[in-house]
Amino acid sequence: MALIVQKYGGTSVGSIERIQNVARRIAKFKQQGNDVVVVVSAMSGETNRLLALAEAIQTQPNPRELDVVLSTGEQVTIGLLCMALQEIGVPAKSYTGWQIPISTDKVHAKARIEDVNDAKLKQDLKEGKVIVVAGFQGVDENGDITTLGRGGSDTSAVALAAKLKADECQIYTDVDGVYTTDPRVVPEAKRLNKITFEEMLELASLGSKVLQIRSVEFAGKYHVRLRVLSSLKDECEGTLITFEEDENMEHVVVSGIAFDKNQARVNVKGVPDRPGIAYNILGSIADANIEVDMIIQNVGENDTTDFSFTVPRNDYQNALKVLNAEQDKIHAKTIDGDDTVVKVSVVGLGMRSHSGVASQIFKTLADENINIQMISTSEIKVSVLIDEKYLELATRALHEVFQLDK
Ligand code: ASP
Ligand code: MG
């Protein structure tokens, strides 16, 4: 007998019919002799609807009260799913985050889970019940309701799986797994049966929106066996996120290609080349709470240097404003940039032991006449910044060169 944590996303519980469908799926696992703990999201569209209600009253909703409002979406689904389970003869009991409790820090709208109390859960499991927990929410030390950030139900599920030492944490969503790249861009994209945790982390942080990045980090930290699969399709094993490379994986150099459209490049040119300049530029950006991703500093000429970095696109104007305001510290000749750029990343554990991947990427882009503006690398990833108009061309060409369609 295994203990399985299953998480169903908003689309999977998006209607009464789908909730009943999920109930039948859970019943099947239960009948096979498994213990099942379920985590659900709000019905699709619900969290956005609640957010819009709040914003109709306060343009910047009070964080404590916003979490009170947003957490209700999941509360509806847990109750409905338990009713659906009971209707087909499966004993089930629902819990909100604070009833468990799932303790978090006090940071509203992006709280981090600190602990899960498993006392009630263990008792219910012993009594043969299916437990249905509201995802995306917890409670802080003051007893205030917190939420975990958009997509946070994935993290709730992984946290429960970690605490209960579940045999597997299954994330049911509207896609049937992790793909070599976005199938909407490259129709030949293939579902991966397995991907290593490290690769998934790179793909998730690079804009493949299958899993909330935090849930992947959490799973890595607590060694939770994680699987992504579709709630709309039967008989599909989905994608298993593994910790070990197996023999098959060794042959694969590149596992996937991710892209991130949320990028803008900032150029700070002709700054005096002396100690502290990176700190002056990036320090003021950090103080404005803007995240910096890729960074390039050129070798200086005439005692000046050029500095470029990327920021999220919606922070672009603000970044320029911040730098212009700091001109007396920075002394740049020009401050400008471009917010029509994208980052394309090639990810694969096999890059560790295969040289030449980077040059193959550069050759592929050169053959397509695509100019590379910035490059960054890690042990298992090469990212390039290019003009957004080449996003599809670049992704397709790289997908083909690394034979991801095979
Ligand atoms: N309902 C929340 C959201 O829409 C959390 C989740 O679905 O994971 O972001
Ligand atoms: Mg989601």
> So what's the pLDDT on residue 352?
85
> Does the domain spanning 257-401 belong to CATH 3.30.2130.10?
yes
CATH of domain 3-174: 3.40.1160.10
User: What are the φ and ψ backbone dihedral angles of 167, each rounded to 5 degrees?
Assistant: -70, -30
Q: How many CB atoms lie within 10 A of CB 62?
A: 13
* 83-130: pLDDT as tens digits: 999 999 999 999 999 999 999 999 999 999 999 999 999 999 999 999
Q: If 0-12 CB within 10 Å is exposed, 13-18 middle and 19+ buried, where does residue 205 land?
A: middle
Cβ(41) – ligand 1 distance below 6 Å: yes
Domain boundary assignment for the chain: 3-174, 257-401
CA-to-CA distance for 156 and 35, rounded, in angstroms?
18
* 325-383: pLDDT as tens digits: 999 889 999 999 999 999 999 999 888 888 889 999 999 999 999 999 999 999 999 99
> So what's the pLDDT on residue 246?
60
CA-to-CA distance for 132 and 60, rounded, in angstroms?
32
* 5-43: pLDDT as tens digits: 999 999 999 999 999 999 999 999 999 999 999 999 999
Percent of the chain topping pLDDT 70 = 97
Cβ(153) – ligand 1 distance below 6 Å: yes
For range 297-302, the mean pLDDT:
79
Q: Hey, is 156 helix, strand or coil?
A: helix
Q: Which residue in this structure is represented by tokens 């981090």?
A: 112
Among 292, 296, 293, CA closest to 283: 292
Pairing between strand 239-242 and 226-230?
A: antiparallel
Residue-level length of the chain? 406
> So what's the pLDDT on residue 1?
82
Tell the residue nearest (CA) to atom 4 of ligand 1: 47
- pLDDT at residue 208 greater than cutoff 70: no
CA-to-CA distance for 365 and 359, rounded, in angstroms?
10
CA-to-CA distance for 306 and 334, rounded, in angstroms?
10
For range 186-193, the mean pLDDT:
92
Q: In what order do the strands lie in the sheet with 295-297?
A: 295-297, 304-311, 256-272, 334-347, 381-387, 374-378
CA-to-CA distance for 186 and 253, rounded, in angstroms?
19
- Tokens at 401, concatenated: 């060169």
Among 219, 257, 274, CA closest to 365: 257
Ligand 1 atom closest to the Cα of residue 41 is 7
Cβ(137) – ligand 1 distance below 6 Å: no
Ligand 1 centroid, distance to 95 Cα (angstroms): 17
Ligand 2 centroid, distance to 235 Cα (angstroms): 21
Ligand 2 centroid, distance to 137 Cα (angstroms): 14
Q: What is the best residue among 11, 13, 40, 41 to mutate for testing ligand 1's pocket, by most ligand atoms within 8 Å of CB?
A: 41
Ligand 2 centroid, distance to 91 Cα (angstroms): 27
Cβ(61) – ligand 1 distance below 6 Å: no
- pLDDT at residue 245 greater than cutoff 70: no
Residue pair 195/237 in contact by the 8 Å Cβ criterion: no
β partners of residue 387: 341
* 268-297: pLDDT as tens digits: 999 998 898 899 999 999 999 899 999 998
Q: Hey, is 11 helix, strand or coil?
A: coil
